[in-house]
Chain A
Amino acid sequence: MRLKLLARRLLLSLPVAFVILLLVLPLGFMVVVSFWKRALLKMVPAFELSNYLEFLTGTRLSVLGRSFLVSIEATTICLVIAYPIAYYLARHARPSAARLVMLLFTIPFLVNYVIRVFSWTYLLGRTGLINKSLIEIGIVSGPVDWLLYSDFAVLVGMISSYMPFMIFPLWISLAGIDHRLGEASSMLGARPWTTFRYVTLPLSMPGVFAAIIFAFVGCFGESAVPIILGGVGYQLIGNEITSTLDVLNYPLAAAMSSVVTAAMLALLALWYVAFDLRSFLGKILSWRMQ
């Protein structure tokens, strides 16, 4: 009987073991490598801070700053667009219409985003669809240059890549709010805006939190979008790491990668403290306590 229990425990801890062995351990090893030395084409074990110094004193630091800025911008724009849509679909639209729209949001997301990003180079280019239409309508006399290979193009690429990632958690959390709470609030005399501000918005925060994490982490580690839409010399931390790998400077790539991962985990810890995760997974966790 005890043997059976032990076997059961072992089976149940298999996924945990899988993630620890194949992700946590490698991440730890990456941090170790970031202190190693580069010797010709190899890595030599050492304890040096030179990789971090090279990263944090050179131009690469401004790349890190720009990555933060661009990711914050893209996430904010996504949230501002996605929240009202999710709110309307979850609270006011007919359920069948809402399901159909959510489905329409899913399908392009299933097509690889690299392919979708390629298409933007054509759509935003000097002779692309958008410039042609603008000239046709007569809004501008010549092609607009800043549409492609610019911050604007990178933002468009990121927003269209991560929008579905945001709408889903927002929709799930908003649809899960008990309608009676809103009704109770208006029966007590609250105006619609007050009800939204003090009832609906706070209850939807777990979804907002999940949406922000999905979009921000995605944008921050992005390496394909800046390469395709940013143009030559447009560096974000993602493609900066890729180009460091291409010149075989593995310890430096490991150092940059460690800093990025640490930044993400710090943000996560902040959120973990600021938000009660139980409200997000309350149902599952409380059920366990029964």
Chain B
Amino acid sequence: MTWRSWLVWSAIGAVLALLYLPLVPPLFFSLLPETAAEPAPTLRWYVEMWRNPLLTGAVVTSLEAAVTVALTTPLLALVAAISIRELKLPRLILGLMLLPLLVPGISMGIATAFFFKQIGIAPSLGTIVIVQILWALPFALLVVLTAMSTYDPVLTEAAHMSGAGRWRAFRDIELPLIWPGVSGAATFSFILSFNETVRTALVQGPLNTVQTYIWSTYKQIGLSPTLYALMTLLILLTVGLSSIAVAIRRV
């Protein structure tokens, strides 16, 4: 190894440490007992947190929203990608689709919250889902577009020459080939939805997602062992699921 690659690899190591270090402290705090008299590492907070109906409700809301967003957004992104290819003014359409990425989260939350209130739509799971789809759409679109850019349009022509109509050529030739992009967009949308905090908090009304629950509990009463236990669970779940997803793809 040359000195230069040594330097780069140690920089990469340092940046990775910076990114992974914050994943550790919640685990420690979640295992601490309430008083020094109790046995040292305790799992009681992991049991106790499920007695809180606010939290269990938030888990249900989060999952409902994330599944809906993961099913809807890739389809919308796929249609958007095709519309960029076939409608007039592709650059304008693309710019419009990427807009949610460029509007600061707080502004997007305020704008949609005011708008829903003005036209009389009460905050609900529906408003949460709409805002999260808007947020996930540009990411999903970029993933789908990347997949589409590797598709060779000659194949569609070949399908036409073999007598396939537009829809048939798309369904039987192009869609299977760009499918990894579509399923990747779904995974991405699920994760983005599950993690969204700022925008969701402004349109959720009486509901709570796991993330907004953590956020509002922190602002009202501060961090507690049960909150640390919840965070640890989320960290383990995320890291575990993404590792499994990677392992499956490798095989």
Contact = CB atoms under 8 A, between A and B. Distances in A.
Nearest to A239: B106
B235 A15 contact: no
B132 to A, nearest CB: 12
A12 B86 contact: yes
A230 B108 CA distance: 23
B84 A113 contact: no
Contact of B102 (A33, A213, A258): A213
Contacts of B97: 15-16, 19
B139 to A, nearest CB: 10
B11 A221 contact: no
Contacts of B246: 103
A27 B111 contact: yes
Given A20-B96, A107-B242, A220-B104, A114 B118 contact: no
Contacts of A13: 83, 87
B96 A224 contact: no
Contacts of A285: 90-91
A81 B76 CA distance: 35
A114 B211 contact: yes
Given A23-B112, A108-B23, A112-B197, A15 B80 contact: yes
| Contact residues of B: prevailing secondary structure | helix
A102 to B, nearest CB: 11
Interface in B93-109: 93-97, 99-108
A23 B107 contact: no
Contacts of B149: 283-284, 287
Contacts of A227: 219
A19 B96 contact: yes
Contacts of A84: 8, 11
Given A85-B12, A119-B25, A224-B197, A287 B153 contact: yes
Interface size class of A (residues with CB under 8 A): 35 or more
B200 to A, nearest CB: 12
B47 to A, nearest CB: 21
Interface string B118-151: 1000000000001001100100000001001100
Contact of B107 (A27, A81, A119): A27
A29 B118 contact: yes
Given A16-B96, A23-B134, A119-B21, A254 B110 contact: yes
B215 interface: yes
A32 to B, nearest CB: 9
Interface in A83-103: 84-85, 88-89, 92, 101, 103
A29 B111 contact: yes
Interface size class of B (residues with CB under 8 A): 35 or more
A81 to B, nearest CB: 6
Interface in A1-33: 9, 11-16, 18-20, 22-27, 29-30, 33
B86 A221 contact: no
A51 to B, nearest CB: 13
Interface stretch (A56-64, A137-145, A196-204, A261-269): A261-269
B56 to A, nearest CB: 18
Contacts of B114: 26, 29-30, 33, 250, 254
Q: Tell me which of A26, A105, A221, A227 has the highest count of chain B C-beta atoms within 10 A of its own C-beta.
A: A26
A78 to B, nearest CB: 10
Contacts of B133: 18
Contacts of A33: 114
Contacts of B134: 18-19, 22-23
A69 interface: no
Nearest to A97: B9
A257 B153 contact: no
B231 interface: yes
Interface string A119-150: 11011000001000000000000000000000
Contact of B93 (A16, A85, A238): A16
A245 interface: yes
Contacts of A290: 153
Interface string B1-27: 000010010011001101111111110
B15 A85 contact: yes
A154 interface: no
A221 B110 contact: no
Contacts of A24: 96, 99
5 tightest A-B CB contacts, nearest first: A221-B104, A119-B22, A26-B115, A15-B80, A26-B111
Given A110-B242, A238-B106, A257-B110, 18 more contacts: A12-B82, A19-B96, A19-B97, A20-B96, A26-B111, A92-B5, A107-B238, A112-B195, A120-B22, A122-B25, A217-B104, A228-B218, A238-B105, A245-B202, A254-B114, A264-B102, A287-B85, A287-B149
15 contacts: A19-B96, A22-B134, A23-B99, A23-B112, A27-B108, A92-B8, A107-B243, A112-B195, A114-B211, A115-B235, A120-B22, A217-B104, A257-B104, A261-B103, A288-B86
